[in-house]
Amino acid sequence: MNKTIQATLGAVLLSVGIAVGAPAGKPNIVFIFSDDHSIQTIGAYNSRLSEFCRQQQVTPNIDRLAAAGALFPNSFCGNSLCSPSRASVLTGLHSGSNGVTNLGQPVRQGAWMYPAAVRAAGYQTAAFGKWHLGDTPANTDYWRLFPGQGNYWNPSVIGPNGEEKLTGYATDLLTDLSLGWLKQRDKNKPFMLLLHHKAPHRPWEPPTRYYNWLSSVTIPEPPTLFDDHAGRGTPAHTQKMEIGRDMVLSSDLKVRQAGKGEQSAEFDASYGARNTAFEKAHLEGQALTRWKYQEYMKDYLRCIKAVDDSVGRVCDYLKAEGLEENTIVIYAADQGFYNGEHGWFDKRWIYEESIHMPLIVKWPGVVKPGSRPTPLVQNIDYAPTFVEMAGGKVPEGLHGRSLVPLLRGETPADWRKSIYYHYYDPGHGVTKHYGVRTERFTLANFYPVKEWELYDLEKNPQQMRSVHGDPAYATTVTELTAELERLRKQFEAGFDPQAPAAPPQRKGKKNKK
């Protein structure tokens, strides 16, 4: 075909809405999944630290992915904890139904999981990295997974031939393994690659190449760093996730800690002088909290920078091999994370910083570059989405639904208006709770202590003060309580025995807008 005819044909295809270079046949799928990566620290999300991250080039490759695809600003998890979130991604079910309510538990026996459905659709599949679901199989053609949480340095992996120990930094090693598998794959079949990073999970250990990166800059503090939680109930006062009080100097902040193995000299050279200065300063109170925040955030961002490098390496490979236009690339994390907001680190709460999951999807020829679908989506939606992308069969009875219509720019009329949340694990002193999050409101029931909270996100986006007892919100409380009970009946296989069967109803004046 000569260039004149090709250009004319291209113009005709564009005029009727068909993208030039649209993938023919089944698309390849790459799912890059990180751990505890907050939306605040992704440049493309325009959240609290996003401008700083753009200036410092923390996530340039993830940002480019967002520019070329869809970024979901209202993406949420249903249980902000590693294993439960991963189980929901895998099964399309909430925790109460998939059997994973706490850390390290296996998915309930007999549950449907998407990798098998993708394989049945004709895909070759592989999984690398953090799985953290007990003895739950990957159901992929090939796998090399961390036992448990996995280590940042010299991690062990379990594969088809048993367990082996690798040498190096986990984020880089997982990328090496993934690219190695892609290079030897069957090129006559479509593929799905699951690249699941440990980073930036606690204890935030970066690669040596980033030990000194950001050392001379100051990370912007959140305005709520010294929140006294006066506007919340008992649970916010009994938690054990405060940076100043609960962050460990040795394991978390690398104070009084020496380098190990091959990283020893570089570690001591990078952290040694800082630690000496810290010991001499004898910091206390708010000064100590501020120091901890800065050092925690720098290591957290250093880990993210390495994950972003991984995203770049994978995307570069796809482009170099001529696979870019026929490959869907998804970037997500298993939940959000506190970057000092309200004085906290970790996740677990129904509050905003915890339940927001980053979700970015690049799908050439299908997703409009730079699109921002605003409907409420959850991690239960991933499994049916992946299977529909692969042309497979999505079973009846899943709690989630495919995001493919949203990715095509179409919002079904019956799309959800609320999301369900249930946190079962009392870790970090966070009280068990369940709740509902709508576009404007968050309602939570901390049932072990019989306390409720309601937040108006329109008027109070930082969730500083609960308005549950405010008569002006009585109608809202009644409506959301009914919606919460509807969601519980729909999504819970069995209620937590400590949870009351029916929450109390409030009476009062109509809600003021």
Q: Tell me how long the chain is.
A: 513
Name the helix (H) or strand (E) containing 436: strand 433-438
Averaged over 129-147, what is the pLDDT?
Answer: 97
Averaged over 19-37, what is the pLDDT?
Answer: 78
- Greater confidence (313 vs 507) lies with 313
Terminal Cα-to-Cα distance of the chain (whole angstroms): 62
- Does the 432-491 domain belong in CATH 3.30.1120.10? yes
pLDDT for the residue 75: 98
Does 21 score more than 50 pLDDT? no
d(CA 85, CA 93): 10
Does 113 score more than 60 pLDDT? yes
| List of residues 6+ apart from 354 with CB closer than 8 A | 80, 335, 336, 337, 338, 347, 348
Does 7 score more than 60 pLDDT? no
Does 3 score more than 50 pLDDT? no
Averaged over 133-138, what is the pLDDT?
Answer: 95
d(CA 140, CA 145): 11
CB atoms within 10 A of CB 111: 17
Does 496 score more than 60 pLDDT? no
Q: Which of 432-446, 478-492, 494-508 has the lowest mean pLDDT?
A: 494-508
- CATH superfamily of the domain spanning 24-206+295-411: Alkaline Phosphatase, subunit A (3.40.720.10)
% pLDDT > 70, the chain = 91
DSSP secondary structure of 459-489: T-TT--S--TT-GGGHHHHHHHHHHHHHHHH
pLDDT for the residue 500: 54
Task: Say which amino acid occupies 257.
Answer: Q
| List of residues 6+ apart from 325 with CB closer than 8 A | 21, 22, 23, 364, 365
pLDDT for the residue 350: 98
Provide the 3-class DSSP secondary structure of residue 29: strand
Show me where the domains of the chain are located.
24-206+295-411, 432-491
Measure Cα distances from 481 to 126, 309, 505 in Å. 43, 44, 7
d(CA 200, CA 184): 29
pLDDT band at 16 (very low <50, low <70, confident <90, very high): very low
For residues 186 and 166, the answer to whether their CB atoms sit within 8 Å is: no
Mean pLDDT score across all residues of the chain: 92
d(CA 67, CA 5): 30
Work out the angle between the directed axes of helices 285-320 and 264-281 (0-180°, nearest 10). 160
pLDDT for the residue 499: 57
Helix-, strand-, coil-residue percentages of the chain, each rounded to 5: 35, 15, 50
Convert the pLDDT of each residue in 358-414 to its tens digit.
999 999 999 999 999 999 999 999 999 999 999 999 999 999 999 999 999 999 999
Averaged over 202-229, what is the pLDDT?
Answer: 97
pLDDT for the residue 100: 96
pLDDT for the residue 498: 60
Does 478 score more than 80 pLDDT? yes
pLDDT band at 256 (very low <50, low <70, confident <90, very high): confident
pLDDT band at 495 (very low <50, low <70, confident <90, very high): low
pTM assigned to the model: 0.92
Q: Which of 244-248, 331-335, 496-500 has the lowest mean pLDDT?
A: 496-500
Does 44 score more than 80 pLDDT? yes
| List of residues 6+ apart from 444 with CB closer than 8 A | 350, 421, 433, 434, 435, 452, 453, 454
Does 248 score more than 90 pLDDT? yes
Does 4 score more than 60 pLDDT? no
Averaged over 479-485, what is the pLDDT?
Answer: 98
Convert the pLDDT of each residue in 160-207 to its tens digit.
999 999 999 999 999 999 999 999 999 999 999 999 999 999 999 999
pLDDT band at 263 (very low <50, low <70, confident <90, very high): confident
Convert the pLDDT of each residue in 274-329 to its tens digit.
999 999 999 999 999 999 999 999 999 999 999 999 999 999 999 999 999 999 99
